[in-house]
Amino acid sequence: MKLINFNKMNGAGNDFILIDKVLNPKIKLTAKIISKMCKREIGIGADGVLLIDKHNKYDFNLKYYNSNGKVGSLCGNGSRCAISYAASNYKIKNSKVKFLCSGKIYSGEVLRMNLIKFHLHKPTDIKISIVIKTRNYKIKGSYVDTGSPHVVIFWDDIKKIIKSNFNKFDITKIGREIRNSKQFAPNGTNVNFVKIGKGVVKIRTYERGVEAETLACGTGAVAATVVLSQKFGSKSPIKFQTKSSKTLQVDFLLKKNEISKISLTGPAKINYIGTYNF
């Protein structure tokens, strides 16, 4: 019998299987094992897997896998979960951490119990107000790479096409079509739908790798922030209401229409601890 010790965590509803290599020194994750673990019907169930390990220079090293078993790009809520875990389990002296993910250095901090802030790098490949082509429509949108690629579409630009309620419409069909569009080939993109309200911005995200809507997406909220700041001059901070109804807050500095010093803050907690028999 082979067992994996794991922590089931969630960041604003975006859920992960966190595996500590210190507790599982001989672990060898394969795409098949990861996809089985993440499958909700027969496994633990999760949007992805976080593999965390101690590092000789930084507080830890993080590797993120999508639920399809493939190595993923930056995951904001996953990073916040990893920060929370490391701060509690790696005997870090203060609440601030530095870690590696995909060969890049990131930082974060524990503000209080289950409230975690993650500092991101400056976004790249920003394309505001582009035309996104689907099989049947041409939709106004924007594109931003926040460590992961994201399309941002405002509800006012698509509600006549959808003809439904923002909270209830099925984003899977149109999300999958845009995610797999030749326009964003070969790697594809995540797709965010954003509705601006009084005091809060609602956001729903179709995530590549999961190939479905998730209850929250941190890098998606950051991508929406970039577009809101550059298109409408929105000020910091911006609060997002996710599909889970949890709030993510993005703080940033906007100077001469250039955004920097971006951070993502929100809840992150352990749901339960267990062992998985594979």
Q: Active-site residues: which are they?
A: 75, 217
Q: Which two tokens stand for residue 135?
A: 């099989």
Cα-atom radius of gyration of the chain, to the nearest Å?
18
Whether 267 contacts 259, CB under 8 Å: no
Measure the CA–CA gap between 44 and 38, rounded to whole angstroms: 6
Q: Which helix (H) or strand (E) holds 85?
A: helix 76-89
What is the C-alpha to C-alpha distance for residues 156 and 232, in angstroms, rounded to an integer? 14
Task: Please tell me the distance from the alpha carbon of residue 266 to that of residue 249, in angstroms, as a whole number.
Answer: 6
3, 273 contact by CB (below 8 A): no
Within 10 A of 20 (CB to CB), how many other CB atoms are there? Answer: 22
Those residues with Cβ within 8 angstroms of residue 26's Cβ, 6 or more apart along the chain or in another chain: none
The span from the CA of 224 to the CA of 251, in Å, is 12
Spatial separation of the C-alpha atoms in residues 179 and 103, rounded to whole Å: 25
Residue 71 DSSP label: B
